[in-house]
Chain A
Amino acid sequence: MDLFNLNFEHPDWALILPQLIVFLTAIALVLGDAFLPERSKFNALTGISLVGYGAALASLYWQRGKDDMTFQGSFRADGLTVFLSLIILIAAILSVLVSANYIEYFEDRVPLGEYYILLAFSVVGALLVAGAGDMIMIFIGLELSSLATYVLTAYARRRVESVEGALKYFLLGIFASAILLYGMAWAYGLSGSTDLDGIRAGISEAVAGSDYMEASVLLALLLLVVGLGFKIAAVPFHMWTPDAYEGAPTPVSAYMSVIPKAAGFAALIRILVQALGPLSDDWTWLIAGLALITMALGNFVALSQRNVKRMLAYSSIAHTGYMMVGLAAYQDGSVLGSQLGADGVTALMYYMLAYAFMNIGAFAVLAWLQERGKGVMLDDLSGLAGTHPLAAVSMAVFMISLMGIPPLIGFYAKYYVIVAAIEADMLWLAIAIVLMSALSAYFYLRVVFVMYFGQAPDASTSAPARTVATPLLNAALVIMVVGNLALGLFSQGIIDLGEEWNTALTLASNIPGVN
């Protein structure tokens, strides 16, 4: 027993460089917001955010291939960390570009400084989950990410919907956190460790040589899946999603459809694959079942939505279902077994990257229109191709990509997930994805149809269009349209990078004093 023989070593700061850079960015934003003159705030704070996330993205280049852990095993820099951080940082940069002009022009000129600060802390939290080697780090990271997102959701505080959506999100979010925490407590009790590798060893010992699962192991597993199911908006734990997405300022909806979800999936991968990998025969069925009902409910309810933001919220639930198929296709012990495409976890992570480009894009077009005085109902998009042809083209690209038509990125994302499911002998799930994609064509194409064939509102009766310049948002739209077109065709390099995630499993525990 080495209870009082704590062994402190110097942390290896180089391993945690991207996380550290984003954290310092957040501090710089706090100071900048406090001391910069009001006039220069917009440029300075936007610049600090973009440079910070960009530098963190660049520093991933050095983090790649390190495959080591620091802070007594609490933080790991392995292939999984690098790829998840890549997704989170790209989504963060896109979110800043989408938010900047919107927050300036819209929502009663709410203060910009706090917005960037909360965004940065939320990104730090998500990045910490990506590199967590310990359940404490997972919990703290998830909470840091979520708490900042709750406040961001309520950011348009003069609109009652914004605060109401935030409160619903908050109540269900902390409820889920409490359930997750209870699951972590049981996982700790069963293995005597909060360290992911320690749990893996402890759980393997606990289930070795028995054909049935002990009730306490099952309890821990269920609590963990339920708690994280809320965070990723899986059915039946999705109730907060439509309200929060609809109520939040549009750039925040874009942000929270990707980064908190990525953090939730990061936690799921870390806990289920890395810590509870020996139980994968049991949890893959659980995840597969949840994936099926998630994609079914998301798509069916999206059919009847007239509000495009709410439709995108249900579509986001459906996409969570597709992503979960990647996790369900995980097979412990045969990580490198894929011949055709990518293994399940890589497919899931590629899907998340694709989803960032598709979904932030769709919300960005809505934000672009809102800044020009339009609403977010389907009728507001009517005849858009005539009045704003470029916005209509970008929206069409994002919708078709979300639907999954080649050669756009959404098709490749679904392709890899389907191949992974077939290789894991889950043909029924692969068929379900195809059927659900066909169903989803109805509500995605309806948006395109309304934009191109709908009657444009009469110029004399409608409110005069506002002319505003939104250079950052335009840049973001161009980046995302190009990303949707190109990243699918050149997906092999991304998949190769993603497949390095399995260093997370082979990374040997080499820290003294940790079990």
Chain B
Amino acid sequence: MELTVDHFLGLSAALFIIGLMGVLMRRNVLIIFLCVELMVAAVAITFAAFARETNTLDGQTFALFAIAVAAAEAAVGLALILALSRRVRSVDVDEYRTLRD
């Protein structure tokens, strides 16, 4: 069997959906954060696959930018999670309920 672009698109779609379901279903804030990172990584694979298919470099460049942005998100996000979990003593998003209707 030969690997084609479709295989990579399928892989990235599967990873993206795993990440998406994780964000929607898990309650641990760190897991949610990691699932979003998984989604971004899945998109990077999509970009690389499409770059191969369309024979252009733009997609690979975009993937690098996406990874850089994900790193910046991690820096800000972990700081916020740390600041809040020190206060609330929990990493469960359902415990963060000072603000609600």
Q: Contact check, B36 vs A140: say whether CB atoms are below 8 A apart.
A: no
Known interface pairs A175-B23, A194-B61; 5 further A-B residue pairs with C-beta atoms within 8 A, sorted by A's residue number: A3-B55, A163-B83, A163-B87, A189-B49, A242-B101
Residues of B within 8 A of A1 (CB): 55
Q: How many residues of B contact A (CB 8 A)?
A: 43
Per a CB cutoff under 8 Å, which of B29, B62, B93 touches A194?
B62
Residue of B nearest to A178 (CB): B39
Interface membership of B53, Cβ < 8 A: yes
5 example contacts (A-B, Cβ-Cβ < 8 A) are as follows: A151-B76, A154-B83, A171-B36, A185-B50, A194-B59
Interface membership of A193, Cβ < 8 A: yes
Q: Contact check, B46 vs A174: say whether CB atoms are below 8 A apart.
A: no
Per a CB cutoff under 8 Å, which of A139, A151, A247 touches B99?
A247
Given A175-B36, A193-B56, answer yes or no on A136-B62 (Cβ-Cβ < 8 Å): yes
Q: Mark interface residues in B28-49 (1 if CB within 8 Å of A CB, else 0).
A: 0100110010011011001101
Interface membership of A192, Cβ < 8 A: yes
- Give CA–CA (A497, B39) in the complex, Å: 41
Interface positions of B (Cβ within 8 A of A): 16, 19, 23, 29, 32-33, 36, 39-40, 42-43, 46-47, 49-50, 53-59, 61-62, 65-66, 69, 72-73, 76-77, 80-81, 83-84, 87-88, 93, 96, 98-101
Residues of A within 8 A of B101 (CB): 242, 301, 305, 310
Given A139-B65, A170-B76, A243-B99, answer yes or no on A188-B50 (Cβ-Cβ < 8 Å): yes
Q: Contact check, A188 vs B47: say whether CB atoms are below 8 A apart.
A: yes
Given A188-B59, A192-B54, answer yes or no on A147-B47 (Cβ-Cβ < 8 Å): no
Q: Contact check, A168 vs B61: say whether CB atoms are below 8 A apart.
A: no
Residue of A nearest to B73 (CB): A174
Given A139-B66, A181-B66, A243-B99, answer yes or no on A167-B54 (Cβ-Cβ < 8 Å): no
Q: Mark interface residues in A152-194 (1 if CB within 8 Å of B CB, else 0).
A: 0010010011011111101100110111011011101100111
Residue of A nearest to B80 (CB): A167
Interface membership of A259, Cβ < 8 A: no
Interface positions of A (Cβ within 8 A of B): 1, 3, 135-136, 139-140, 143, 147, 150-151, 154, 157, 160-161, 163-168, 170-171, 174-175, 177-179, 181-182, 184-186, 188-189, 192-195, 242-243, 246-247, 301, 305, 310
Residues of A within 8 A of B76 (CB): 147, 150-151, 170
Given A163-B87, A192-B56, answer yes or no on A242-B40 (Cβ-Cβ < 8 Å): no
Q: Contact check, B46 vs A167: say whether CB atoms are below 8 A apart.
A: no
- Give CA–CA (A330, B57) in the complex, Å: 33
Residues of B within 8 A of A301 (CB): 101
Give B41 Cβ to nearest chain A Cβ, in Å: 9
- Give CA–CA (A310, B99) in the complex, Å: 10
Give A190 Cβ to nearest chain B Cβ, in Å: 9
Residues of B within 8 A of A181 (CB): 40, 43, 66
3 tightest Cβ-Cβ pairs between the two chains A and B:
A192-B54, A189-B50, A178-B39
Residues of B within 8 A of A189 (CB): 46, 49-50, 53-54, 59
Q: Contact check, B54 vs A160: say whether CB atoms are below 8 A apart.
A: no
- Give CA–CA (A175, B37) in the complex, Å: 9
- Give CA–CA (A193, B47) in the complex, Å: 11
Q: Contact check, B84 vs A164: say whether CB atoms are below 8 A apart.
A: yes
Q: Contact check, B77 vs A174: say whether CB atoms are below 8 A apart.
A: yes
- Give CA–CA (A361, B69) in the complex, Å: 33
Residues of A within 8 A of B83 (CB): 154, 157, 163
Per a CB cutoff under 8 Å, which of A147, A167, A195, A305 touches B29?
A167
Per a CB cutoff under 8 Å, which of A135, A147, A179 touches B62?
A135
Residues of A within 8 A of B40 (CB): 177-178, 181
Q: Contact check, A178 vs B46: say whether CB atoms are below 8 A apart.
A: no
Q: Contact check, B61 vs A136: say whether CB atoms are below 8 A apart.
A: yes
Residue of A nearest to B53 (CB): A189
- Give CA–CA (A161, B69) in the complex, Å: 26
Residues of A within 8 A of B56 (CB): 3, 192-193
Q: Contact check, B58 vs A194: say whether CB atoms are below 8 A apart.
A: yes
Residues of B within 8 A of A167 (CB): 29, 80-81, 84, 96
Residues of B within 8 A of A163 (CB): 80, 83-84, 87
Q: Contact check, A188 vs B58: say whether CB atoms are below 8 A apart.
A: yes
- Give CA–CA (A3, B88) in the complex, Å: 52
Give B19 Cβ to nearest chain A Cβ, in Å: 7
Q: Contact check, B43 vs A178: say whether CB atoms are below 8 A apart.
A: yes
Q: Contact check, B57 vs A3: say whether CB atoms are below 8 A apart.
A: yes
Residue of A nearest to B48 (CB): A185
Residues of B within 8 A of A188 (CB): 47, 50, 54, 58-59, 62
Q: Contact check, A185 vs B69: say whether CB atoms are below 8 A apart.
A: no
Q: Contact check, B65 vs A140: say whether CB atoms are below 8 A apart.
A: yes
